[in-house]
């Protein structure tokens, strides 16, 4: 498919669609878009010269040669209807990705957790090695400064999203599976369907391609074993020793930069110490995946290690929003029990003597119901927990579940619910003390609590 020049993107403010917009812009296309509300991503796109309309209106699609829609945009959207009436082709992201990545050696990074960080690490390593890759990341890596870029090299690094089977549109030369854990119950009726989807993703690896998979994750290991049994080239990584594990980390320990150090072993031989700016054992795993990909494309270990040591992380992944009055405020995209536990473990490693106050915004009613028991025991590493109203995202509130019910059920001695972002910011401002760490967890708007708290601590009265 030849991509037309004038493209209108509906839902351009999302992580994936904004990255596509930037890649297309870099290639010389005339790109514009619309989104339902203002937000940091909309503002940054405008600052880069990409026009964005707030609100969906039929006239927004006028002059477009193609309308590209996010998966979150309903079929009845007024702009999609107007485009079809005008005879303008309408495509969804999965249908468009093959055209966008055509002609490249594709590196696709998938998994329930860690894929954004690994994608950012890989893209940064390749850029620092002088390969100028194209990339699409589901967040903004601070070291790259953008979530999307069209490079001059033959490699295209992309975060492979399993939601609604989007990643099945990809035909990677190298695929990564960080882990496979049940998420997105609105898209997968049961864990079995998710497992099958990852199997189909792996089946899409081009002939002669490579699968990089985490050996520590039982389901990822099972998918990898099936791929290898069928003759596929497999590279395993992990923290635990095991047969066939190519990349392993030992001696993981916090470092003075607030991250972790570890000794990297390749096929049983010590390659060297890797120093990360990111905290937590889970980030040592993420770095192993990136090292495995770097080796697969011919990047020298020393180059890869040096890049990882400079990698500053990704926005909303243990991102320190600021410090004021001795209070540190951290935002993280953690919206799954496994992610919450990993962030709390990382916070304990970086801030071992601090009181850790969690502000959690539950994300989607279906996820909370599907993973109910796991959520109730996920906050053991917190000293206090504040539960915000559920962020509905694409779902409707039927009135049968709210933040108070969740708070009452959480197995923790100090947990309470609040009715708004404003109430959370006010409560925090009254109780935080020097040395405290406030951890904002969720995939919605919880970060606004941190922004408002910083203003209050600095003497302002900002509303989240």
Residues 283 and 155 in one domain: yes
Q: What is the model's pLDDT at position 71?
A: 83
- Tokens 């320990």 — which residue? 253
Residues 125 and 256 in one domain: yes
Residue 98 belongs to a domain: no
Q: What is the model's pLDDT at position 183?
A: 87
Residue 276 in contact with residue 308, Cβ under 8 Å? Answer: yes
DSSP character for 434? T
Residues 323 and 409 in one domain: yes
Residue 1 belongs to a domain: no
Q: What range defines the domain where residue 56 resides?
A: 6-92
Residue 295 belongs to a domain: yes
Q: Which residues pair with 450 in a beta bridge?
A: none
Residues 81 and 190 in one domain: no
Task: Check which CATH number belongs to the domain holding 64 and give it.
Answer: 3.40.50.720
Residue 332 belongs to a domain: yes
Q: What is the model's pLDDT at position 464?
A: 59
b vs e for 156-169, b when ≥16 Cβ sit within 10 Å of the residue's Cβ? bbbbbbbbbbbbbb
Residues 293 and 333 in one domain: no
Residues 230 and 348 in one domain: no
Residues 239 and 345 in one domain: no
Residues 295 and 166 in one domain: yes
Residues 362 and 250 in one domain: no
What radius of gyration do the chain's Cα atoms show? 22
Mind giving me the DSSP string for 276-315?
A: -SS-SHHHHHHHHHHHHHHHHTT--HHHHHHHHHH---BT
Domain boundary among 293, 310, 327: 310
Domain boundary among 274, 291, 310: 310
Q: In this structure, what token pair is assigned to residue 351?
A: 């801030």
Q: What is the model's pLDDT at position 281?
A: 94
Task: Check which CATH number belongs to the domain holding 403 and give it.
Answer: 3.90.190.20
Q: What is the model's pLDDT at position 404?
A: 97
- Residue 255: helix, strand or coil by DSSP? coil
Residue 345 in contact with residue 381, Cβ under 8 Å? Answer: yes
Residue 393 belongs to a domain: yes
The Cα 87–Cα 68 span in angstroms is 14
Q: Give the predicted TM-score (pTM) of the model.
A: 0.91
b vs e for 285-300, b when ≥16 Cβ sit within 10 Å of the residue's Cβ? bbbbbbbbbbbbbebe
Residue 215 belongs to a domain: yes
Cα 245 → chain centroid? 26
State the Cα angle at 366 between 361 and 368, rounded to 5°: 45
Quick one: which of 150, 204, 151, 154 has its CA closest to 177?
A: 204
pLDDT in tens, the chain (464 residues): 899 999 999 999 999 999 999 999 999 999 999 999 888 899 999 999 999 999 999 999 999 999 999 988 999 999 999 999 999 999 999 999 999 999 999 999 999 999 999 999 999 999 999 999 999 999 999 999 999 999 999 999 999 999 888 999 999 999 999 999 998 888 888 999 999 999 999 999 999 999 999 999 999 999 999 999 888 899 999 998 878 899 999 999 999 999 999 999 999 999 999 999 999 999 999 999 999 999 999 999 999 999 999 999 988 889 999 999 999 999 999 999 999 999 999 999 999 999 999 999 999 999 999 999 999 999 999 999 999 999 998 888 989 999 999 999 999 999 999 999 999 999 999 999 999 999 999 999 999 999 999 999 887 554 55
- Give how many domains the chain has, as a whole number: 3
Q: What is the model's pLDDT at position 345?
A: 95
Catalytic residue ranges: 115-116, 159
Residues 424 and 445 in one domain: yes
Residues 139 and 216 in one domain: yes
Residue 463 belongs to a domain: no
Q: What is the model's pLDDT at position 349?
A: 93
Residues 220 and 334 in one domain: no
Domain boundary among 30, 61, 92: 92
Residue 34 belongs to a domain: yes
């Amino acid at each position: 498919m030849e991509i037309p020049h004038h493209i209108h993107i509906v839902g351009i403010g999302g992580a994936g669609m904004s990255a596509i917009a930037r890649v297309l812009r870099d290639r010389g296309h005339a790109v514009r878009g619309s989104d339902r509300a203002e937000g940091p991503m909309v503002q940054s796109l405008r600052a880069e010269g990409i026009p964005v309309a707030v609100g969906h209106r039929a006239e927004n699609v006028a002059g477009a040669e193609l309308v590209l829609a996010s998966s979150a945009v309903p079929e009845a959207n007024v702009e999609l209807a107007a485009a079809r009436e005008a005879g303008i082709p309408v495509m969804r992201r999965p249908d468009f990705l093959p055209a966008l990545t055509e002609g490249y050696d594709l590196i696709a990074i998938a998994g329930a957790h860690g894929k954004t960080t690994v994608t950012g690490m890989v893209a940064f390593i390749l850029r620092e090695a002088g390969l100028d890759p194209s990339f699409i990341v589901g967040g903004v890596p601070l070291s790259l400064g953008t979530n999307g870029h069209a490079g001059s090299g033959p490699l295209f690094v992309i975060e492979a999203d399993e939601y609604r089977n989007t990643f099945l549109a990809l035909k990677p030369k190298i695929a990564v599976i960080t882990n496979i854990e049940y998420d997105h119950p609105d898209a997968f009726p049961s864990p079995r369907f998710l497992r099958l989807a990852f199997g189909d993703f792996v089946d899409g690896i081009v002939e002669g391609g490579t699968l990089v998979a985490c050996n520590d994750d039982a389901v990822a290991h099972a998918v990898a074993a099936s791929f290898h049994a069928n003759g596929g080239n497999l590279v395993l990584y992990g923290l635990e020793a095991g047969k066939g594990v190519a990349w392993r980390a030992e001696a993981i320990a916090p470092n003075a930069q607030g991250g972790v150090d570890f000794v990297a072993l390749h096929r049983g031989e010590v390659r060297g110490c890797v120093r990360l700016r990111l905290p937590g054992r889970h980030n040592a795993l993420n770095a192993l995946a990136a090292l495995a990909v770097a080796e697969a494309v011919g990047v020298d270990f020393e180059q890869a290690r040096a890049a990882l040591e400079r990698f500053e992380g990704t926005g909303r992944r243990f991102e320190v929003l600021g410090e004021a009055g001795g209070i540190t405020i951290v935002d993280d995209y953690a919206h799954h029990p496994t992610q919450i536990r990993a962030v709390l473990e990382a916070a304990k490693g970086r801030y071992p003597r601090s009181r850790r106050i969690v502000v959690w915004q539950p994300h989607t009613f279906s996820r909370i119901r599907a993973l109910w028991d796991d959520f109730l025991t996920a906050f053991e590493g917190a000293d206090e927990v504040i539960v915000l109203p559920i962020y509905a995202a694409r779902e409707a509130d039927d009135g049968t579940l709210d933040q108070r019910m969740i708070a009452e059920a959480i197995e923790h001695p100090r947990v309470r619910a609040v009715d708004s972002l404003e109430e959370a910011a006010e409560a925090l401002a009254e109780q935080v003390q020097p040395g405290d760490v406030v951890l904002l967890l969720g995939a919605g708007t919880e970060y606004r609590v941190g922004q408002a708290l910083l203003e209050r601590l600095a003497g302002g009265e900002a509303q989240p």
